[in-house]
Structure 1
Amino acid sequence: MKQKTTTFKSGFVSIIGRPNVGKSTLLNRVIGQKIAIMSDKPQTTRNKVQGVLTRDDAQIVFMDTPGIHKPKHRLGDFMMKVAKNTLREVDLILYVVEADAKFGPGEQYIIERLHETKTPVFLLINKIDKVSPEELLKVIDLYKDRYPFAEIIPISALEGNNVPTLVEQIVEHMEEGPQYYPADQVTDHPERFIIAELIREKVLHLTKEEIPHSVAVVIEQIKKRDNGKVYVGATVIVERSSQKGIIIGKHGAMLKEVGQLARGDIEALLGSSVYLELWVKVQKDWRNRPSQLKDYGFNENEY
């Protein structure tokens, strides 16, 4: 008796939306582990972060893009170029909005960009725990009138509500295709990139409003030592001396806490004990200097 063959589906999915709507939280929830940094500050994500979800019947490659906003510097220009170009490279777009946020010029700008593409779009209404069912229906009607979405799915990326349903709908929309990555690979970014992002996340989290997004992290060295520990040396780049003082903290307390929190995530990533050494360096106006943007991993020529 001839065995029935199962169709394997695959495709690329872009996660877009305004800053701070929960895109990175959603990506981490879908993949099942932390590959995108999360912060309560806007514009946390600066590069396309690819997350890979592999099942027996499908492989979906997700791209978490920078939040779409009006650029204020060369780094901002780079982030918007990444976000817009991604729309042309994928099989499906997930447009994430907040259930409790008002529809404004930012949302209108994104919808205008969506009208320029032929790629199917899912509308994901995130943070549904913050509104009543009646308010949610109003949000759905508001967006339905502005764009012919392929699907509209209310979710909570933080709690995981409706995320399994979302994944099933994504697979349903995918075409038959190859497996692009090994089954155990969850991202295409090198370890250096992920480690730098984990450190930067801790800086943003601990410094709150004191440090704007003028922070970059450069991994100077990763080396396995004879005792089995992995040595990681990293430099935190800031734009002003006052920011350096804040990150180091009184008697080095802030930098020590950044290191302790980051080390835990890095050890989980590498599956090994880690010795993390951090330095802080001032590079004035680095976000507007093309050569320094390239040095810190923001290469415009790649997009």
Structure 2
Amino acid sequence: MFNKGKKDTKAGFVAVVGRPNAGKSTLLNYLVGEKLAMVSKKAQATRKRMNIIVMHENAQIIFVDTPGIHEKERLLNKFMLDEALKAMGDADLIVFLAPVTDKLTEYEKFLSLNESKNTKHIVVLTKMDHVKQGDILKKLGEYQKYQDRFEAIIPFSVNKKVGRKQLLDEIVKYLPQSPFLYDTEILTTENIRDIYKELIRESIFENLSDEIPYESDVTIEKIEEDDTMDRVYATIVVEKETQKGMIVGQKGSGIKRVGKLAREQMEFFSGKRIFLDLHVAVKKGWSKNRESLEEFGYIS
């Protein structure tokens, strides 16, 4: 183990859940101090679980970023809900993100999903920047009727840098005594291929209209790494020819925009120069097809 001989350490898995666009990835990137989880203003950007590791005092917290809890008929959406539920069942603790402007119905849905697992959880109130102090106090009051269900409720603001230490201190209380499970120097268990894929997907979300991101995915065909540059060959896969035309854009303007932002984010993450070779392919109905989802790594 990575801290042999030390008996007073803790380590455990913490599932971060909430409705789509509740602020899960923003919170995790802030806690780890790096851009690792996919952030988009559009809902349901995160599709798979991702482990993000934060060291705090004598503890190793392995956060599991999950897709938003939602119910949709499409096969891909069912996979995403399954991912969130598995993370909840496997975790030592759940952090439930609740935007302060939300009604309690989202939290009540979460309670019913967690009923069979009965995993302990903390409520984190997010998106507090645009409400008054009185609104925050009112929301805290509303949650009091469920005070016997949660371990703690913590107001949190990434922009105002409020709540980080309080949240990490609270999480550590519920982790088991354990040697560290991973090398203390690593921030995520994801490999570079998956991180580059997510950064390209994020650029699609940021640069294109609503329909495209939800019916597109990215495959990394090949990465050639050396000390100063990574050469990344990737394909954006869509469901319709019309979507391909929208991504490519007039005289290639759309794919240039997507490639530029993705390359900048990849360079920021890797600290290297990036050569990005990006193409678009059509695979009709991939998000509704089990074989295609297996190919993209969503179903094993």
Q: C-alpha displacement at 1:187, in angstroms?
A: 0.7
Q: Contact 1:22 / 1:157 at 8 angstroms: preserved in 2? A: no
> One-letter code of the match for 2:120?
P
The yes-or-no answer on 1:108 pairing with 2:113 is: no
Whole-angstrom CA distance in 2 between matches of 1:156 and 1:123:
13
> One-letter code of the match for 1:261?
L
Q: 1:145 to 1:56 in 2, by over 3 A?
A: closer
SS of equivalent residue, structure 2 residue 12:
strand
The yes-or-no answer on 1:123 pairing with 2:123 is: yes
> One-letter code of the match for 1:280?
V
Q: Mean Cα displacement is larger for which, 141-150 or 199-208?
A: 141-150
Percent of residue pairs bearing the same amino acid type: 34
> Residues 223-262 of structure 1 correspond to what in structure 2 (within 5 A)?
223-224=224-225, 228-262=228-262
CA offsets, 1:18-59, max 9 Å, x none? 000100111111111011110111111110011011245110
Whole-angstrom CA distance in 1 between matches of 2:129 and 2:205:
26
Whole-angstrom CA distance in 2 between matches of 1:15 and 1:21:
10
Q: What residue in structure 1 maps to residue 11 of structure 2?
A: 10
SS of equivalent residue, structure 1 residue 201:
helix
Q: 1:159 to 1:257 in 2, by over 3 A?
A: farther
Q: How many residues align?
A: 294
Q: Contact 1:111 / 1:146 at 8 angstroms: preserved in 2? A: no
Q: Contact 1:229 / 1:275 at 8 angstroms: preserved in 2? A: yes
Q: C-alpha displacement at 1:228, in angstroms?
A: 4.5
> One-letter code of the match for 2:289?
R
> Residues 115-264 of structure 1 correspond to what in structure 2 (within 5 A)?
115-146=115-146, 148-224=149-225, 228-264=228-264
CA offsets, 1:119-151, max 9 Å, x none? 211000101122222221221222231352100
Whole-angstrom CA distance in 2 between matches of 1:232 and 1:140:
47
RMSD: 1.7
> One-letter code of the match for 1:204?
F
Q: TM-score, normalised by structure 1?
A: 0.92
SS of equivalent residue, structure 1 residue 183:
coil
Whole-angstrom CA distance in 1 between matches of 2:182 and 2:7:
19
Whole-angstrom CA distance in 2 between matches of 1:174 and 1:28:
21
Q: C-alpha displacement at 1:209, in angstroms?
A: 2.4
Q: Mean Cα displacement is larger for which, 178-187 or 112-121?
A: 112-121
Whole-angstrom CA distance in 2 between matches of 1:268 and 1:108:
39
> One-letter code of the match for 1:36?
A
Q: C-alpha displacement at 1:210, in angstroms?
A: 4.6
> One-letter code of the match for 1:41?
K
Whole-angstrom CA distance in 1 between matches of 2:48 and 2:32:
18
Q: TM-score, normalised by structure 2?
A: 0.93
SS of equivalent residue, structure 2 residue 214:
coil
Q: Contact 2:7 / 2:178 at 8 angstroms: preserved in 1? A: no
Q: What residue in structure 1 maps to residue 3 of structure 2?
A: none
Q: Mean Cα displacement is larger for which, 171-180 or 193-202?
A: 171-180
> One-letter code of the match for 1:114?
N
Q: What residue in structure 2 maps to residue 20 of structure 1?
A: 21
CA offsets, 1:138-189, max 9 Å, x none? 2122223135210000111344321221112112332321111111111111
Q: Contact 1:211 / 1:243 at 8 angstroms: preserved in 2? A: yes
Whole-angstrom CA distance in 2 between matches of 1:228 and 1:18:
40
Q: Contact 2:38 / 2:198 at 8 angstroms: preserved in 1? A: yes
SS of equivalent residue, structure 2 residue 220:
strand
Whole-angstrom CA distance in 2 between matches of 1:17 and 1:168:
21
